[in-house]
Amino acid sequence: MERSRPSPPWFVQSITALTFLILYVPLAVLVIYSFVLIDPSSGQTLFSFECYSQALQDDELRKALNMSLWVGLWSTLGASILGTATAWALDRFSFPGKQWLDALTLVPLVIPEIVMALSLLIWFVLLKFSLGSVSIILAHITFSFSYVVITVRTRLADFDHSLEEAALDLGATPTQTFWRVSFPLIWPGILSGALMAFTLSFDDFLITFFTAGVGSDTLPIKLYSMIKYGISPKINALSTLILLSTIVMVVFAFRPKKIGSRQSESLKALG
Amino acid sequence: MVWAGLFLLAPMIIVFIYSLLVKGVYGGIIFEWTIKNYERAFDWLYLQIFYESLKLATLTTLSCLLIGYPVAYVLATATDGMRNILLVLLIIPFWTNFVVRTYALKLLFSEQGPISRIGISLGFWSEPIMWSNSNGMVWFGMLTNYLPYMVLPLYVSLEKFDFSLLEAGRDLGASAWNNFWRVLIPLTKHGIITGSILVFTPALGEFLIPDMLGGAKVMLMGNLITEQFMKMRDWPFGSALSIVLMSVVVFGLVTILRMWMKEETKLRPEKI
């Protein structure tokens, strides 16, 4: 479907160009600074990998990275299962309080993050739940499962229910129907929700800041306290590495989407 | 369902209950009902902080809209290949760690940063200047940080927009301005509202950007609340402040949605 689209006026184009420039200049500076060392005596700038070797040798940073990955993995898993189940329940069944649950799943999207952060902190403290990796994981599941609910529900909304009926008519058991027909169809929704959940978890600062106890710093928290302490070359290198992995992830995320749409296309062709 | 109740609803209720209690020693609480926390929240000092936060969040939302609309327009009218490249370019900073992004801005404007150094070598100023630690910097940080939240919903709206309507408008004698204001804007209203909500809500409670870019000079709601929890250990007062913050957000959302619905009913007869 190709529609005729006017080319935007020159000032619209220049605003756009300027915007991208503004978005990328700080990141470019960061990358450049990560390769530069300023000689304290002469004030001269030298090219070096010193920042990187310092950052990679830092045990605390490695610990924080492991913590981030650990939290990201478990909260993604939790959010995916919980989100899919909730989306399924909301789409298929009617039960008392359904409207409330429906509204409740959207709450994390609209309330300020700080309110959610402190409410979880008070809650954990009140329940005498010790603050650490588990409390962070629980908190992360809470704010990220909404995204899985949304992506899975979108998938369920354009789901052809006659496919399930056909499977049942042809003698498949309900379990078989779920795993062989329904699940593959909503899988892309779960996958994009999970990707979102992981990104959010890995990126999160504020909620972790409130719900992390002593010694369970994730990477963003560690980074923040390092920055508060002062600008050090280590931070530049670490930030550049994080930026690089983000770029890899974005490129990766844009690939499976194509495969996903191809799959659904071939399914449509079969149907 | 149980999860949502246990980790969303219950904590919210607890915050409300906390906001009505008295602060004890060392971050504890005393079970004694009071509305003193709310009285204190409406103290002149805190009202000013509140006003500043509202002003900054509004300014951020408006400037995001002003800059984001052209960007979304270019995205929607670009060829497929170009659009994909631009989308990836937009999403990369969006997905980059928030702390890293804010730090990059801090670095750019720091004493050792390129702007300060280039200024020296060009002779604009003689000694290193720290550009961060000001309201302007916090606004700039918010703008660049929240821009994608505005652009993406706008893009979705513009993507669905039938551009031949603009041609029809032109053929019927509408000026470019009229075409934009009477055709394009009303039909992409959904994106404008979604984007504004997505920017305004987090901007109002923002902590990290004012904390990192504003230094100790800029105090906003988010910082005030965090301070009550982390430093002052006055949890009841912090809870009261966050309840006030929540009420403002809910009030804002309801107002926007009301206005939108009114417009919808106003527009309908015109369409026929």
In this complex, the residue of B73, B88, B101 whose CB is nearest that of residue A8 is B73
Q: What is the DSSP string of B153-213?
A: HHHHHHHHS-THHHHHHHHTT--HHHIIIIIIHHHTHHHHHHHHHHHHHHHHT--HHHHHH
When scoring A16, A61, A104, A202 by the number of chain B Cβ atoms within 10 A, the one with the most, hence best to mutate, is A16
A242 within 8 A of B96, measured Cβ to Cβ: yes
Q: Locate A101 and state its tokens.
A: 């649950």
Beta bridge partners of A37: A46
- Give the integer Cα–Cα distance in Å for B215 and B270: 52
Q: Locate B115 and state its tokens.
A: 């702007």
Put simply, whether A27 touches B (Cβ < 8 Å) is yes
Q: pLDDT tens across A193-212, in order?
A: 898 899 889 888 999 998 88
Q: Are B76 and A12 a contacting pair at CB < 8 A?
A: no
**B204 → chain A, closest CA residue:** A112
* Domain assignment present for B12: no
Q: Tell me the chain B residues in contact with residue A30 when contact means C-beta distances shorter than 8 Å.
A: 100, 103-104, 107
Q: Are A23 and B147 a contacting pair at CB < 8 A?
A: yes
* Domain assignment present for B88: yes
- Give the integer Cα–Cα distance in Å for B203 and A186: 34
* Domain assignment present for B148: yes
B102 within 8 A of A227, measured Cβ to Cβ: no
Q: What average pLDDT does this structure show over A19-30?
A: 89
pLDDT at A76 over 90: yes
- Give the integer Cα–Cα distance in Å for A27 and A240: 8
* Domain assignment present for B215: yes
Q: Are A219 and B144 a contacting pair at CB < 8 A?
A: no
In this complex, the residue of A23, A112, A242 whose CB is nearest that of residue B202 is A112
* Domain assignment present for B10: no
Q: pLDDT tens across A112-161, in order?
A: 888 888 888 888 888 877 788 888 998 999 888 888 888 888 888 877 77
Question: Three-class SS of residue A220?
Answer: helix
Put simply, whether B155 touches A (Cβ < 8 Å) is no
- Give the integer Cα–Cα distance in Å for B126 and B90: 37
| pLDDT value, residue A70 | 92
Q: Mean pLDDT lowest for which of A169-183, A249-263, B181-195, B236-250?
A: A249-263
| pLDDT value, residue A79 | 92
Return the higher-pLDDT residue of B255 and A37.
B255
**A248 → chain B, closest CA residue:** B92
A79 within 8 A of A151, measured Cβ to Cβ: no
Burial of A90 (0-12, 13-18, 19+ CB in 10 A): buried
**B92 → chain A, closest CA residue:** A247
A145 within 8 A of A79, measured Cβ to Cβ: yes
Put simply, whether A170 touches B (Cβ < 8 Å) is no
pLDDT at A271 over 60: no
With a pLDDT cut of 90, the percent of chain A lying above it is 8
Put simply, whether A173 touches B (Cβ < 8 Å) is no
Put simply, whether A30 touches B (Cβ < 8 Å) is yes
| pLDDT value, residue B271 | 42
| pLDDT value, residue B1 | 60
- Give the integer Cα–Cα distance in Å for B225 and A65: 28
Q: What average pLDDT does this structure show over B144-156?
A: 90
pLDDT at B238 over 90: no
Of A210, A90, A73, A92, nearest to A144 by C-alpha is: A73
A136 within 8 A of A71, measured Cβ to Cβ: yes
Q: Mean pLDDT lowest for which of A83-87, A92-96, B56-60, B75-79?
A: A92-96
Q: Tell me the chain B residues in contact with residue A141 when contact means C-beta distances shorter than 8 Å.
A: 3, 7
Burial of B117 (0-12, 13-18, 19+ CB in 10 A): middle
Q: Locate A126 and state its tokens.
A: 């009140």
Q: What average pLDDT does this structure show over B226-239?
A: 82
Residue B29 amino acid letter: I
Q: What average pLDDT does this structure show over B65-90?
A: 88
* Domain assignment present for B40: no
**Domains along the sequence of chain A with CATH:** 10-47 (no CATH), 59-270 (1.10.3720.10)
Shortest Cα distance, chain A CAs vs residue B55, angstroms: 16
HEC-encoded secondary structure of A115-165: HHHHHHHHHHHHCCCCCCHHHHHHHHHHHHHHHHHHHHHHHHHCCCHHHHH
Put simply, whether B84 touches A (Cβ < 8 Å) is yes
When scoring A14, A44, A71, A122 by the number of chain B Cβ atoms within 10 A, the one with the most, hence best to mutate, is A122
| pLDDT value, residue B63 | 94
Q: What average pLDDT does this structure show over B198-211?
A: 88
Select, from the ranges A36-50, B31-45, B107-121, B241-255, the one with the highest average predicted confidence (pLDDT): B241-255
Model ipTM value: 0.79
What is the total count of domains within chain B?
A: 1
Q: How many CB atoms lie within 10 A of CB A173?
A: 11
Put simply, whether B76 touches A (Cβ < 8 Å) is yes
B211 within 8 A of B141, measured Cβ to Cβ: no
| pLDDT value, residue A260 | 47
Is residue A1 very low, low, confident or very high in pLDDT (cuts 50, 70, 90)? very low
- The CATH code of the domain that includes B216 is 1.10.3720.10
Return the higher-pLDDT residue of B67 and B257.
B67
pLDDT at B61 over 80: yes
- How far is residue A172 from each of residues A156, A180, A184, measured CA to CA in Å? 20, 9, 15
Put simply, whether A64 touches B (Cβ < 8 Å) is no
pLDDT at A265 over 60: no
Q: Are A112 and B229 a contacting pair at CB < 8 A?
A: no
- Taking the alpha carbons of A151, A64, A120, A109 in that order, is the dihedral positive or negative? negative
Q: What is the dihedral of CA A111, A117, A118, A121, to 10 degrees?
A: 140
Q: Are A11 and B113 a contacting pair at CB < 8 A?
A: no
Of B186, B248, B208, nearest to B58 by C-alpha is: B248
Question: Three-class SS of residue A25?
Answer: helix
Put simply, whether B249 touches A (Cβ < 8 Å) is yes
Q: Are B100 and A30 a contacting pair at CB < 8 A?
A: yes
| pLDDT value, residue A259 | 45
- Give the integer Cα–Cα distance in Å for B76 and B155: 6
B14 within 8 A of A122, measured Cβ to Cβ: yes
* Domain assignment present for B2: no
* Domain assignment present for B227: yes
- Which domain does B184 fall in, by range? 52-271
The reply to whether the predicted model has a pTM over 0.90 is no
Question: Can you list the positions of beta strands (E) in A18-146?
Answer: 36-38, 45-47
Shortest Cα distance, chain B CAs vs residue A171, angstroms: 33
Return the higher-pLDDT residue of A259 and A144.
A144
When scoring A69, A118, A261 by the number of chain B Cβ atoms within 10 A, the one with the most, hence best to mutate, is A118
pLDDT at B222 over 60: yes
Is residue A268 very low, low, confident or very high in pLDDT (cuts 50, 70, 90)? very low
